[in-house]
Amino acid sequence: MRNVYVLGTGMIKFGRYPEKTVPELGGEAALIAMKDAGIGIKDIEMFACGNLYQANAMVGQRILQQIGQTGIPVINVSNACATGSTAFREAYMAVASGMYDVSMAVGVEQMGKQGLLGGGGGGADPAYGTEGKLGSGLMPAVFGQAGIEHMRKYGTKLEHFAKISVKSHKHATRNPFSQYRNEVSLEDVMNARMVGYPNTLYMCCPTGDGAAAAILVSEDKLKQLAGGRKRAKVAASVLTSDPYTDRDLTLPDVSTLTRRASKQAYEKAGIGPKDVALTELHDCFATAELVHYENLGLCGDGEAAKFIDTKGGCHPDLGGHAPVNVSGGLLSKGHPLGATGVANICEVVWHITQDERAKERQVPNAKVGQAHVIGLGSACTIHVLTV
């Protein structure tokens, strides 16, 4: 496998764009990425597009109708919340395998105000459906259960989940791409409307519209096109699904696939958790962020509460260490499903290359970062990026 680099990135501010179409949103991000890379559509040899809610509508081809149709192969990807990051991995594999020298990945979604409840798609198998019989398979309930289990097992308090939300909203005030940029107090979070215990409203990600794009190139192409500019290397690209466990669909396992992906990613990149300068992880709910601290090895099992109390996950400017979701995370930035995975990668790339787009929230001396997304059903991607 060849070395692969991110030559250019593009992202639009997450929000709501009812006047635009999905291809228009994706095309806008693609054009920004190509401008950042210093190339045009004729230089792109392969295109992977991630979109969930219009998965049967050939969104990739429709984006090319906006920015230029050159006859290149297009792969349309749908993989729950890991849709965008899986599209990025397809573009990465296309270059790493030697089949192409320049590829593009776009993640895009237009959700408006529709809720993040189920996993989407074709419905449950009646033989295994538990909805309304044994709890709920809706996402607020599933991740609420994960939080309750951590509380039961380790004594974690509601306040610890609330502190995550406070931290992420504080981070978002420095991110112009974030859908919401308002601070919230600990009291605000804990007293907000309960959605799925222990997650209150401010511990749940908002939905909306968004798009992000990345251009990937081989090492030879990097030398030709980068012009001496600092560019990020994809040190690891991992995709996992759930193995069989003794858990059942009444209490879904939200951790095993991340732990397996994390182990593989660290081994492939030749690093450990302490080498990671920043992490963008899948915080669809505050409870998810907390359990992923442990799943990614940022702290030991059962130590997430202590990690939070010692300002783990906070930006160094706020007195923190091992910063997590300095973008504001999904809790503030929003979670337009297909766009999230590529957006997380963009954020990491900007920090380790000292891109102007992360200037307000730059993590000092960042040389290694990781981007993590899970999609229940199940899929987990982790990308480690280095300079």
Whether the ω angle into residue 252 lies within 30 degrees of 0, i.e. cis, is: no
The arithmetic mean of pLDDT across residues 308-327, rounded, is: 98
Q: Which of 105, 163, 171, 158 lies closest to 338 in space, CA to CA?
A: 105
Is 204 one of the catalytic residues?
no
Q: What is the pLDDT of residues 38-66, one digit of tens each?
A: 999 999 999 999 999 999 999 999 999 99
Query: pLDDT tens across 320-363, in order?
Result: 999 999 999 999 999 999 999 999 999 999 999 999 999 999 99
Residue 209 falls inside a structural domain:
yes
Confirm if 9 and 214 have CB atoms less than 8 A apart. Answer: yes
Q: Has residue 27 got a pLDDT over 70?
A: yes
Domain limits for position 88: 4-115+205-386
Q: Cβ(336)–Cβ(110) under 8 Å?
A: yes
In a domain, 292, yes or no: yes
CB atoms within 10 A of CB 239: 19
Residue 75 maps to a domain: yes
Q: How confident is the model at residue 121 (pLDDT cuts 50, 70, 90)?
A: very low
State the average pLDDT over residues 10-20. Answer: 97
pLDDT in tens, 134-146: 567 788 888 999 9
Distances, alpha carbon 188 to alpha carbons 101, 143, 201, in Å: 50, 21, 10
CB 149 within 8 A of CB 302: no
Per residue in 248-263, pLDDT (tens digit) is 555 678 899 999 999 9
Any domain includes 382: yes
The tokens for 307 are: 């990690």
Residue 74 placed within a domain: yes
- Is there a domain that residue 73 lies in? yes
CATH number of residue 277's parent domain: 3.40.47.10
Which position among 49, 81, 284, 299 bears the catalytic label? 81
In a domain, residue 143? The reply is no
Those residues with Cβ within 8 angstroms of residue 217's Cβ, 6 or more apart along the chain or in another chain: 4, 5, 7, 37, 95, 101, 102, 103, 225
Number of domains in the chain: 1
pLDDT of 290 reads 98
Q: Tell me the DSSP string of 208-255.
A: -EEEEEEEEEEHHHHHHHSTT---EEEEEEEEE-PPP-S--TTS--SS
